[in-house]
Amino acid sequence: MSLEELKKRSAPRVQALVSRDGRVLMAKHREGDQQYWCLPGGALETDESPEEGAVRELREEAGVDGRIVRLVGQAPDDRGEVDTCTYWVEIGDQEPVLGHDPEVDPDCPILIGVEWLALREIPERDRVFLWRAGLLRVPGFLDEVASWGDAISYPATGCSERSPSSQ
């Protein structure tokens, strides 16, 4: 999809995938009484490229400047069109700090933390979005996942007794 086509979408999103020492930089969000982890990212602004948007979002949310390494993921919306672009971004030895979301009232922030997390520290509900984002295209993570073995794990609570394939 071209930049022009991406910008015609109602709200294309961009996100930055930053890794260091086997950990991923994650942003913690709170909406109501729900909390979740995601990659730093947000909506693409008018007149910026997706790469510029990913670096801007990283700066806003984690207070660091980055250099795009490459595109690692493009996720489709329900119509099959690219909705989210994920870029692998290098930040050198900078240390992230909690930033802000300029579109959100500072008295009711959604962004409540930034932290380096190992995959085992990220809830499965949130980790699944890293697969969609292209994490396995970043060196080291495919080897880690391959080392997990063949055991099946699935949450015991809050899920149907039928598997998704039998529904």
- pLDDT, tens digit only, all 167 positions of the chain: 444 544 444 668 999 999 999 999 999 999 889 999 999 999 999 899 999 999 999 999 999 999 999 999 998 877 777 789 999 999 999 999 999 888 777 778 889 999 999 999 999 889 999 998 999 999 999 999 889 888 887 777 665 555 555 44
Predicted local confidence at residue 161, as pLDDT: 53
Distance between CA 96 and CA 59 in Å, rounded?
9
The pTM assigned to this predicted structure is 0.83
Q: What is the CA radius of gyration of the chain?
A: 17
pLDDT at residue 1, rounded to an integer? 40
Q: Tell me whether residue 100 is in a domain.
A: yes
Q: What is the pLDDT of residue 79?
A: 79
* Token representation of residue 134: 């292209």
Q: Is residue 47 part of a domain?
A: yes
Alpha carbon distance 27, 35 (integer Å): 10
96 in any annotated domain: yes
In a domain, 153, yes or no: no
pLDDT at position 10 is 62
Please check whether residue 31 lies inside any domain of the structure: yes
In a domain, 49, yes or no: yes
Helix ranges (H only) for the chain are: 3-8, 50-62, 124-133, 141-146
Q: What is the CATH number of the domain that holds 19?
A: 3.90.79.10
Does residue 115 fall inside a structural domain?
A: yes
What is the rounded CA–CA span in Å between residue 114 and residue 124? 18
Q: Which residue range(s) make up the domain with 7?
A: 3-147
How many domains is the chain built from? 1
Per-residue pLDDT, 160: 56
